Amino acid sequence: MEIIVKKDTPLKNFNHHWKFCVGADHAAYALRHDYITQLAEVRKELGIERVRFHGIFNDDMHTVRKATDILPIPFGGSYIERSFRQCAVVYDNILSIGMKPFVELSFMPKLMAQVPFAKGTFYYRPVVSMPMHRKRWHEYVKSFVRFLIERYGKEEVESWYFEVWNEPDLVGPFFLGTKKDYFQLYAVSATAVKEVDPQIKVGGPATSASRWIAEFLTFCKNNDVPVDFVSTHQYAGDPLGGVGNTNSTVSNLNIDIFAALKERHALSHDNIIDVYRSFMRTRNLIPTLNPDSFIKSSEFVSSASGDLPVFYTEWNLCASFSAECNDTSTQAAYLLHSILNSQKTVSGSSIWCFSDLFEEYHQFPEEFHGGFGLMTQSGIRKPSYHALRFLQEAGNKAYNIKANGKADCAVFRKKGETHVILSLLHLHSSNTSEEVSISIEADAAPSSVTVSVIDSKHCNPLHDWKMMGSPQVPTPAQLDELRKSSAVTNEPMDFVYEDGAIKINTKLTDNSIRRIIIRD
């Protein structure tokens, strides 16, 4: 692979759409000190602007309660209390660290649900029913938006985004209803938001696997329903029906119970994660992973959305929780590959999610358990975190170059420095490599050239954790050791300056990343 940057090579604005937002489990977790501490680090080090999470209306947020929820008071069932105090604490915490909420209007308070016992399959059991009375839901959403404006001010809330529900196409985990039901729920919710303040931005359909986009937009147009942006999700692979651009509703899990039963005698009985991995078939790299699913799907959604902004409000390599690839450089290489190749199709995105402080399936105690986070629950940075920091530190201007080869590359220019970021994604092969030749025209030899590496030997805290015996809950001393051993290093790199050009040669291996900094 050859990369050539000449003096007259034009610079362009780089679309850091991944900095628009980041995902973060469910609302009640934003009441935790460690959650907010880690999120503040993400804001400071990665520059991510917003945070999105599920369940601002979950029953653990106590927005709607009746007297008999507290005591079996006679006639207490007719006394209903509404309060958004807990929601305010969550949003106060987020705003205090310089981030903004991306508001997901979900899920249904039990007292307002058409089917109160219709709870999602996840650990915290949100009610995923349609509302019992649409007019009451309409008024409830309006009161919530009014509360936000009264507390934070009209100008502030108008800078937020409001999304209706989460993955309504996944019947069971997130929604009890049809596509038509969701469209009606969206219409009632979006109209409620706009009746309070027409300037607030609202959108959907927040589907998995880039589904329902064209039909959703047709529904909004034909029924004069407001929509300011299109939102959807995409993973490279998952057990919930694949990754295709379809109009289907998913109701089955692609899991192999019989294979799990065959393995059960060999599993450790000291933890849950082993049996979970066996059940979900996530011990090895998921065979259905498609390296270009995000890229191709974003092209499809962008084309269908016309002039509306496209927000991928949830995306990552593997939707299969507990997959070990979520803790490795494979995830980092996938994120870079997807970001570098979706520059023209995505307005903003939200990687799922910033931390392994996450309990959709149970808060697994192991420091490394294949969680979705960019960092572990103790704040250990994973390879994906470091890769995104490479992009953040490279700046906003990239050369408009074309490089032939298997690797992904971007060359950035900022004051006094040129940053070259290289990555080689391979999901289903091994022992592949690529030689890379770099030539950058310059008026003088650089003062220094350094390289930072992410691969199986560098920035690999999973490996280091295993080497120390895989402690379930590392001690403070062990955490310090993990931070030091897996930190990014900047090593001097050989180069040649001749004929007015800086020339560098390097080699990439499977799912490795190189960040080269050339200083004037």
Q: Is the pLDDT of residue 277 over 80?
A: no
- The verdict on 490 and 356 lying in the same domain is no
Assigned domain for 150 exists: yes
- The verdict on 57 and 151 lying in the same domain is yes
Assigned domain for 382 exists: no
Distance of CA 480 to the CA centre of its chain: 26
- The verdict on 6 and 32 lying in the same domain is no
| Lateral strand order in the sheet of 496-498 | 2-5, 433-441, 501-509, 496-498
- The verdict on 437 and 410 lying in the same domain is yes
How far apart (Å, rounded) are the C-alpha atoms in residues 327 and 374? 8
Total number of domains constituting the chain: 2
Residues 6 or more apart whose CB falls under 8 angstroms from that of 503 comprise 437, 438, 439, 495, 496, 497
Distance of CA 223 to the CA centre of its chain: 32
Assigned domain for 240 exists: yes
- The verdict on 342 and 456 lying in the same domain is no
- The verdict on 358 and 411 lying in the same domain is no
Assigned domain for 257 exists: no
Q: Is the pLDDT of residue 58 over 80?
A: yes
Please give the average per-residue pLDDT across 196-217, as a whole number: 97
- pLDDT digits over 331-360, tens only? 999 999 999 999 999 999 999 999 999 988
- The verdict on 234 and 152 lying in the same domain is yes
CATH of the domain at 206: 3.20.20.80
- The verdict on 296 and 328 lying in the same domain is yes
Q: How much is the pLDDT for 269?
A: 58
Length of the chain: 520
- The verdict on 294 and 324 lying in the same domain is yes
CATH of the domain at 508: 2.60.40.1500
Assigned domain for 263 exists: no
- pLDDT digits over 135-183, tens only? 999 999 999 999 999 999 999 999 999 999 999 999 888 999 999 999 9
**Domain span including residue 486:** 2-10+396-519
Assigned domain for 262 exists: no
- The verdict on 106 and 205 lying in the same domain is yes
Domain's final residue, options 363, 379, 410: 363
Res. 263 pLDDT band, cuts 50 70 90? low
DSSP 416-465: TEEEEEEE---SS--S-EEEEEEEEE-SS--SEEEEEEESSSSS-HHHHH
Work out whether the CA dihedral 427, 16, 30, 69 comes out positive or negative: negative
- H or E stretch at 322: none
Please give the average per-residue pLDDT across 448-469, as a whole number: 97
Closest CA to 279 of 294, 295, 296, 264: 264
Res. 52 pLDDT band, cuts 50 70 90? very high
Domain's final residue, options 346, 363, 380: 363
Q: Is the pLDDT of residue 243 over 50?
A: no
Assigned domain for 260 exists: no
Which tokens sit at 152?
A: 């934070």
Domain's final residue, options 363, 388, 409: 363
Assigned domain for 285 exists: no
Mean pLDDT of the chain: 91
Q: How much is the pLDDT for 88?
A: 98
- The verdict on 337 and 406 lying in the same domain is no
* 125: three-class secondary structure by DSSP: coil
319 compared with 138, residue with greater pLDDT: 138
- The verdict on 355 and 421 lying in the same domain is no
